[in-house]
């Protein structure tokens, strides 16, 4: 006998409120739990742990912030989505589109997409970097710039390493866990909810991609992240399989981590920011067209209707 979903019949507004409530609850619990665990194991007060999170300068602080980052991903993305799916569906894994094994050809082409789109993504980032808010909003722009610099500093602190085990740990914390968590929330749940509201798959993909990009609170990276969100959304809708965007998201994150560390340790001269960049507009447009062609190949292989 199939299990009954406790809240399967609530309205779309009710589902949104349920999801937001679970995100808030789980985020607070894991944040508090992380600080409590840090206090017990590191034998330092909460204020010290706060400084570890904002400005990790010692090995102990870096270890803690990696652990705290992992808990943050669990609390903000994975746990709320799993609980939400359990409440609204009798078959949570099927509801999240995680039961079907993705085709090898689809994963292979999806892998290529991450690298073919790079010149176009980097071009969008250059455009995004050149955008400025009106003089009236200069204070907000300074706040955004400060947040961007702090985020870049923390990312660099977390992912830099000179050992192979350290690289594997970073791939798990920075590439795999975020890929699973963010795709569960933005494609597995929010895209589905936006499709229920708009009754249109394309609008659902666009809105969920905008939310995905805005959630990172990085204004100067909004356009490239929004474009990545569009690609992930279309791959999800076309295949009807959440494992595909999870895989693509992981490859995107993992490539950034690997390239950064190869450059950091002196194995390559190109930096993570410049990897895949091109100045020739023909190559940039070709990057987009080639990516669209690859997506069309996946569409033909899946033959999955937008309707």
Q: What is the pLDDT along the chain (307 residues), one digit of tens a residue?
A: 556 777 878 989 999 999 999 999 999 999 999 999 988 888 888 888 888 887 788 888 888 999 999 999 999 999 999 999 999 998 999 999 999 899 999 999 999 999 999 999 999 988 887 777 676 666 766 766 777 777 777 788 888 888 999 999 999 999 999 999 999 999 999 999 999 999 999 999 999 999 999 887 777 788 999 999 999 999 999 999 999 999 999 999 999 999 999 988 988 888 877 787 888 899 999 999 999 999 999 998 886 544 4
Same domain assignment for residues 195 and 75: no
Coil, helix or strand at residue 56: coil
**What was the pLDDT predicted at 253?**
95
Please say which residue of 79, 95, 111 terminates a domain: 95
Please say which residue of 37, 71, 95 terminates a domain: 95
Q: How many domains does the chain have?
A: 2
b/e map 218-231, b = 16+ CB within 10 Å: bbbbbbbbbbbbbb
* Residue 256 falls in which region: left (phi positive, over 0), alpha (psi -120 to 50) or beta: alpha
**What was the pLDDT predicted at 306?**
41
Quickly tell me which residue has 């955008």 as its tokens: 131
CA–CA separation, 39 and 172 (whole Å)? 24
Helices 104-116 and 243-264 pack at an angle, to 10 degrees, of 40
Same domain assignment for residues 141 and 265: yes
Residue pair 294/113 in contact by the 8 Å Cβ criterion: yes
Same domain assignment for residues 178 and 241: yes
**What was the pLDDT predicted at 133?**
65
211, two tokens: 């939310």
Same domain assignment for residues 4 and 78: yes
CA–CA separation, 133 and 74 (whole Å)? 34
Owning domain of residue 35 = 1-95
CA–CA separation, 126 and 220 (whole Å)? 9
Same domain assignment for residues 110 and 227: yes
**What was the pLDDT predicted at 61?**
86
Query: pTM for the full model?
Result: 0.92
| Largest Cα–Cα separation, the chain | 63
Quickly tell me which residue has 């652990």 as its tokens: 67
CA–CA separation, 186 and 213 (whole Å)? 10
Please say which residue of 95, 129, 159 terminates a domain: 95
Same domain assignment for residues 161 and 122: yes
Same domain assignment for residues 119 and 45: no
Same domain assignment for residues 46 and 192: no
């Amino acid at each position: 006998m199939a299990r009954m979903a406790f809240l399967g019949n609530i309205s779309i507004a009710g589902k949104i409120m349920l999801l937001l409530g679970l995100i808030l609850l789980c985020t607070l619990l894991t944040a508090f739990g992380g600080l409590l665990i840090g206090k017990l194991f590191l034998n330092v007060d909460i204020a010290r742990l706060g400084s570890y999170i904002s400005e990790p300068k010692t090995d102990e602080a870096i270890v803690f912030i990696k652990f705290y980052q992992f808990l943050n991903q669990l609390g903000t993305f994975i746990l709320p989505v799993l609980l939400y799916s359990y409440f609204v569906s009798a078959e949570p894994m099927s509801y999240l589109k995680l039961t079907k094994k993705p085709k090898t050809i689809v994963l292979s082409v999806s892998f290529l997409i991450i690298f073919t789109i790079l010149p176009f993504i980097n071009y969008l980032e250059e455009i995004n970097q050149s955008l400025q808010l009106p003089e009236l909003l200069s204070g907000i722009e300074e706040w955004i710039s400060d947040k961007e610099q702090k985020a870049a500093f923390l990312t660099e602190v977390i992912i830099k390493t000179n050992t192979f085990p350290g690289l594997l740990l970073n791939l798990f914390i920075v590439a795999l866990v975020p890929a699973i968590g963010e795709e569960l929330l933005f494609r597995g749940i929010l895209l589905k909810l936006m499709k229920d509201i708009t009754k249109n798959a394309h609008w659902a993909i666009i809105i969920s991609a905008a939310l995905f990009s805005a959630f990172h609170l990085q204004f100067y990276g909004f356009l490239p992240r929004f474009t990545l969100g569009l690609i992930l959304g279309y791959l999800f809708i076309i295949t009807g399989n959440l494992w595909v965007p999870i895989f693509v998201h992981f490859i995107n994150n993992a490539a950034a981590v690997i390239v950064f560390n190869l450059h950091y340790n002196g194995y390559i001269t190109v930096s993570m920011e410049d990897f895949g960049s091109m100045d020739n507009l023909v190559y940039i447009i070709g990057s987009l067209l080639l990516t669209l062609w690859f997506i069309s190949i996946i569409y033909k292989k899946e033959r999955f209707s937008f309707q």
